Amino acid sequence: MAPKIAIVYYSMYGHIAKLAQAELKGIEQAGGKADLFQIQETLPQEVLSKMYAPPQDKSVPFITPDIFKTYDAFLFGIPTRYGNFSAQWKTFIDHLGQLWQSGALYGKYFGMFVSTATAGGGQESTCMNALSSWVHQGMIYVPLGYATTFALLGGLEEVRGGSPWGAGTFAGGDGSRQPSSQELELAQAQGKGFYEHVSKVNFA
Ligand SMILES: Cc1cc2nc3c(=O)[nH]c(=O)nc-3n(C[C@H](O)[C@H](O)[C@H](O)COP(=O)(O)O)c2cc1C
């Protein structure tokens, strides 16, 4: 049976949302399908206004633990906060306690993609720090690696986010930089490679 894949992300300013679309394109390029979900906002409107955050995109459904547990494999989109999950993401993870206790997510697969403002802001550390939550659930990490992306990851000609831990983009200090074509290419390659890997697993 084909794996049921969810791309789950939080995106305050849209950078992660753009990478999520590229990940989906990669999955579809490999002949697969995936559903997009977003993490519900948790900050009060007063704070969001001060952060110049636009309203959440209502066209992408919000994930819940009940929906989450019905999927076999996941790609998680994380905009870094101090090199780690955003609080919105962490709140959702804290709602997964019952799934953790029952082992409902054990053996399921995941990959990650990230956005940071700056080059030293957490392209790798965000993935490293995020690992702990999913390891506690007993989930299996599928990193981007270098197998199909050596030229992109090895290139130094232009500024580019992403690492063997997962695709990534740089938003810039003021959030004005948008994902570059190389960053979108990397995210698409991750989606493709992720699907090619998990589609070999028997999810009967
Ligand atoms: C509270 C807060 C903490 C942040 N911490 C970092 C950080 O440690 N390193 C960094 O490069 N960017 C940091 N950023 C910038 C965000 O990662 C950036 O806004 C985000 O990646 C943009 O993605 P989005 O458009 O999908 O929301 C921080 C932003 C906020 C609001």
Q: pLDDT over 90 for what percent of the chain?
A: 98
Sign, CA dihedral 145-124-93-177, equals: negative
Pocket test for ligand 1, best of 78, 116, 125, 127 (most atoms within 8 A of CB): 116
Position in ligand 1 atom list of the atom nearest CA 9: 26
- Encode burial over 93-102: b for 16+ CB neighbours within 10 A, e otherwise: beebeebeee
Q: Judge: domain 5-198, CATH 3.30.1330.10.
A: no
Average pLDDT, the chain: 97
67: tokens are: 């929906």
Mean pLDDT score, 156-176: 97
Return the residue whose CA atom lies nearest to atom 1 of ligand 1.
81
Report the pLDDT value the prediction gives residue 1, as an integer from 0 to 100.
82
Report the pLDDT value the prediction gives residue 200, as an integer from 0 to 100.
94
Question: What is the number of other CB atoms lying within 10 angstroms of the CB of residue 74?
Answer: 25
Alpha helices in the chain (DSSP H): 15-29, 45-50, 65-68, 87-94, 97-102, 125-136, 150-154, 181-198
pLDDT range class, residue 102, cuts 50, 70, 90: very high
pLDDT at 204 over 90: no
CA of 88 to the centre of ligand 1 (A): 12
Pocket test for ligand 1, best of 82, 113, 114, 123 (most atoms within 8 A of CB): 82
Mean pLDDT score, 87-95: 98
Mean pLDDT score, 171-199: 98
Mean pLDDT score, 110-131: 97
